[in-house]
Amino acid sequence: MLNLEVNNQIIQAKKGDTILEALNKNGINVPTLCHIKGMLPSGACRLCVIEQKETGKLIPSCSYPAEEGMQILTNSPKVNEARKTIIELLLADHPDDCLFCVRNKNCELQTLAESYHVRERRIRGKKSDYHLDLSSASIVRDQAKCVLCGRCVRVCDEVMGVSAIDFVNRGSDVIVSTTFNKGLNTSSCVNCGQCIMVCPTAALTEKSHFPEVIDVLADPKKRVVVQYAPSITVSIAEEVGMKPGKDINGIINAALRKIGFEGIFDTSFSADLTIMEESAELVDRVVNNGQLPMITSCCPGWVKYAEEFFPDLIPNLSSCKSPQQMMGAIIKSYYAKVEKVKPEDIFSVSIMPCTAKKFEGQREEMTQNGISDVDAVLTTRELVELIKFYGIDLEKLEPELADSPLGMRSSAGKMFANSGGVMEAAIRTAHKTITGKEMVKFQVPAIRGTKGRKETKLQIGDLELGVAVVSGLANAAELLKEIQNGRKDIHFIEVMACPGGCIAGGGQPINTDEDALKARMRSIYKIDENDSIKVSHKNTEIIELYDNFLEKPLGHKSHELLHTNYKERDVLL
Ligand code: SF4
Ligand code: SF4
């Protein structure tokens, strides 16, 4: 351990810690706009400066190592003035529209201005003139609000391995933009939204479907139905004043009913359906020497990434649509038939932890007879807006059930929320299909947890199945290159674009800390521990759906409604 003198008091630091880490661990918060916990420092924003007591020099605490005997001041007049000036300079070229901004009250620049008592405009500058980039189906870029912290550039490159955005130009003309400064829709952006999660301001936000949903809810000619993804019920608790990770499934059903949705469905049901189809596809590929390894296709960010960067592996992708799209397709076919409603009179909304689902919902492959499977996609953040807009007090609601049919789920379907969950659910059903018996112990600990890459071998009857789970597309790329180079011992791969899976999706509440993410993951596993139906093939509503409508997994009707194909995609790199 090292001893440092901070503000005339001794604190201890671990060897190898930066000054910023040492201060944070000792309960002293230092502002920063560019730093991302767990990543190497970039030193771009200079807000984290502290004063060296002996020399009077200002140094960035994020990139300086803590040293024995160091004497520093974290809030000297010199430090405070430097920080305040940086904030004022940023505000000098920032739109003054906080009251109308989607990040109002959740903006790091606004919070800093408040903390550093910026009460007047001391610095006036010419405001830069930029245009909104609305070209993407998922992401809106507003350069006028960019503070050039570079967090998005680093996440897109280092975590996602996409590099759709970067700094362009020099000096005072520098901006964050795409290749040739074209719309994001022409770039390699996979719509994951991880850049939104780290952006301190509203320079990056999701393409909102909120106004459209409000309008259609007031249209008596439309039957407006909604599905919500497995991770949603464990992700919004802290946003509405409850304990992070708390599962509020029944309360969400009640809230959505109060808002006016006429059919409320849990996407975990169609996650079970995905498992029925996907595990049948896996067994078919293994038994009939099909293309292996099979790779999951539930994550639309990953699917677009494969189309752009690994087109030779497209035949390895499962042909299954994602649970969102399967649910959409079943709502506009089976549910429409049961309810005697025309598919075109149904408006199907989905609530997802994911911005890429907005892109997926608009893909031309995701239609039947010209009618979209899903009409609008809201993120978890937009669900919170919706709850507030309709004045729903979640604390006062009693839990309710989702609607039937299509409302029941197994805990296997619920596990889609976590990285490794799709794989674990598929293994449970594949085991039954291959051996005719249920697994003795359903849990597969080797593929649980937040690690970016997990691998194990499983014995299923006579078959030794090699499985790998990756999250964060940069981790996926590493594994896929091994497959391209001839690695043969992996038969099944789960890929989720977002690190940790959907619980950490780009549509989830911003500023979620690591502990809250872990609480969400634990909550999902707790549900699995406590539920009596732990396998998709025992979901009785799934069994009924096959008996009454689909007939069998991989059957004709399933192929028509639940499967699709993908193709190589040209983008500006
Ligand atoms: S949405 Fe994802 S891929 Fe697109 S720019 Fe942001 S981080 Fe990069
Ligand atoms: S878009 Fe946001 S995250 Fe990216 S550089 Fe600008 S302010 Fe930082």
Task: Write out pLDDT tens, residues 209-229.
Answer: 999 999 999 999 999 999 999
List the one residue out of 570, 267, 195, 251 whose CA is nearest residue 392. Answer: 251
**Ligand 1 atom with the shortest distance to the CA of 497:** 2
Ligand 1 pocket test: pick from 39, 133, 138, 139 the residue with the most ligand atoms within 8 Å of its Cβ: 139
Nearest protein Cα to ligand 1, atom 8: 156
List the one residue out of 11, 109, 23 whose CA is nearest residue 62. Answer: 23
* Model pLDDT, residue 511: 81
Q: Which ligand is nearest to the CA of 304?
A: 1
Nearest protein Cα to ligand 2, atom 6: 146
Q: What average pLDDT score do residues 275-304 get?
A: 97
Q: Which ligand is nearest to the CA of 139?
A: 1
* Model pLDDT, residue 240: 85
8 Å CB contact between 269 and 401: no
Active-site residue list: 278, 281, 298, 318, 357, 360, 365, 502
Ligand 1 contact via 137 beta carbon (within 6 Å): no
CA–CA gap between residue 361 and residue 368 (Å, rounded): 12
Tell me the CATH number for domain 211-562: 3.40.950.10
Which DSSP string corresponds to 469-483?
A: EEESHHHHHHHHHHH
The Cα-based distances of 397 to 144, 245, 258 in angstroms read: 41, 18, 10
Between the CA of 377 and the centroid of ligand 1 the distance, in Å, is 18
CB atoms under 10 Å from CB of 511, counted, come to 11
* Model pLDDT, residue 126: 85
pTM of the model: 0.96
Between the CA of 191 and the centroid of ligand 1 the distance, in Å, is 5
Ligand 1 contact via 140 beta carbon (within 6 Å): no
The Cα-based distances of 224 to 82, 190, 338, 364 in angstroms read: 53, 29, 16, 22
pLDDT band at residue 241 using 50, 70 and 90 as cut-offs: confident
Secondary structure element (H or E) that encloses residue 484, with its range: helix 473-484
In this predicted structure, the answer to whether residue 199 has a pLDDT above a threshold of 90 is yes
Ligand 1 contact via 504 beta carbon (within 6 Å): no
* Model pLDDT, residue 22: 97
* Model pLDDT, residue 219: 98
Q: Token digits for 136?
A: 């993407």
Residues of the chain with CATH 3.10.20.740: 2-89
Strand blocks (E) in 91-165: 139-141
CB atoms under 10 Å from CB of 559, counted, come to 12
Residues of the chain with CATH 3.30.70.20: 128-206
**Ligand 2 atom with the shortest distance to the CA of 33:** 8
Ligand 2 pocket test: pick from 201, 206, 510, 511 the residue with the most ligand atoms within 8 Å of its Cβ: 201
Strand blocks (E) in 31-79: 49-52, 58-60, 71-73
CATH 3.40.50.2300 is held by the domain 128-206: no
Ligand 1 contact via 190 beta carbon (within 6 Å): yes
Instruction: Identify the residue whose tokens are 């040293």.
Output: 67
Between the CA of 242 and the centroid of ligand 2 the distance, in Å, is 30
Q: What average pLDDT score do residues 136-156 get?
A: 97
In this predicted structure, the answer to whether residue 512 has a pLDDT above a threshold of 90 is no
Residue 36's SS3 state is coil
Residues of the chain with CATH 3.40.950.10: 211-562
pLDDT band at residue 413 using 50, 70 and 90 as cut-offs: very high
Q: Which ligand is nearest to the CA of 109?
A: 2
In this predicted structure, the answer to whether residue 134 has a pLDDT above a threshold of 90 is yes
CA–CA gap between residue 304 and residue 352 (Å, rounded): 17
Q: What average pLDDT score do residues 267-279 get?
A: 98
In this predicted structure, the answer to whether residue 294 has a pLDDT above a threshold of 90 is yes
The residues lining ligand 2, judged by C-beta closer than 6 Å to any ligand atom, are: 146-152, 176, 198-201, 203-204
Question: What does the pLDDT look like over 432-456, one tens digit per residue?
Answer: 999 999 999 999 999 999 999 999 9
pLDDT band at residue 263 using 50, 70 and 90 as cut-offs: very high
Ligand 1 contact via 232 beta carbon (within 6 Å): no
CA–CA gap between residue 223 and residue 469 (Å, rounded): 39
Cα 508 to chain centroid distance, Å, stands at 6
Question: What does the pLDDT look like over 158-186, one tens digit per residue?
Answer: 999 999 999 999 998 999 999 999 999 99
Reported residue count of the chain is 573
Ligand 2 pocket test: pick from 94, 166, 199, 205 the residue with the most ligand atoms within 8 Å of its Cβ: 199
8 Å CB contact between 565 and 365: yes
Residue 91's SS3 state is helix
179 φ/ψ angles, rounded to the nearest 5 degrees: -55, 130
Q: What average pLDDT score do residues 404-428 get?
A: 97
Nearest protein Cα to ligand 2, atom 8: 149
Instruction: Identify the residue whose tokens are 């890929």.
Output: 495
Between the CA of 293 and the centroid of ligand 1 the distance, in Å, is 27
Question: What does the pLDDT look like over 52-83, one tens digit per residue?
Answer: 999 999 999 999 999 999 999 999 999 999 99
Query: Which class for 515: exposed (0-12), middle (13-18), buried (19 or more C-beta within 10 A)?
Result: exposed
Instruction: Identify the residue whose tokens are 């074209």.
Output: 182
Question: What does the pLDDT look like over 11-30, one tens digit per residue?
Answer: 999 999 999 999 999 999 99
List the one residue out of 108, 90, 105 whose CA is nearest residue 147. Answer: 90
What is the DSSP-derived secondary structure letter of residue 321?
A: P
CA–CA gap between residue 276 and residue 330 (Å, rounded): 14
Question: What does the pLDDT look like over 336-371, one tens digit per residue?
Answer: 999 999 999 999 999 999 999 999 999 999 999 999
Q: Token digits for 5?
A: 């003198």
List the one residue out of 554, 275, 253 whose CA is nearest residue 411. Answer: 275
In this predicted structure, the answer to whether residue 238 has a pLDDT above a threshold of 90 is no
Ligand 2 pocket test: pick from 107, 146, 195 the residue with the most ligand atoms within 8 Å of its Cβ: 146
Q: Token digits for 163?
A: 């590099």
**Ligand 1 atom with the shortest distance to the CA of 188:** 3
Nearest protein Cα to ligand 2, atom 3: 199
> Which residue type sits at 544?
E
* Model pLDDT, residue 151: 98
Q: Token digits for 101?
A: 């901004």
CA–CA gap between residue 423 and residue 495 (Å, rounded): 9
Ligand 1 contact via 195 beta carbon (within 6 Å): yes
Ligand 1 contact via 410 beta carbon (within 6 Å): no
pLDDT band at residue 405 using 50, 70 and 90 as cut-offs: very high
**Ligand 1 atom with the shortest distance to the CA of 152:** 7
Between the CA of 190 and the centroid of ligand 1 the distance, in Å, is 6
Question: What does the pLDDT look like over 95-117, one tens digit per residue?
Answer: 999 999 999 999 999 999 999 99
**Ligand 2 atom with the shortest distance to the CA of 141:** 1
Between the CA of 64 and the centroid of ligand 2 the distance, in Å, is 23
Instruction: Identify the residue whose tokens are 């789970």.
Output: 469
CA–CA gap between residue 463 and residue 434 (Å, rounded): 9
Nearest protein Cα to ligand 2, atom 4: 152
Percent of residues, the chain, with pLDDT higher than 70:
100
Q: What's the mean per-residue pLDDT of the chain?
A: 96
List the one residue out of 421, 404, 383, 387 whose CA is nearest residue 536. Answer: 421
8 Å CB contact between 313 and 483: yes
Secondary structure element (H or E) that encloses residue 429, with its range: helix 421-435
Q: Token digits for 432?
A: 């039954």
2-89, CATH topology level = Ubiquitin-like (UB roll) (3.10.20)
Percent of residues, the chain, with pLDDT higher than 90:
96
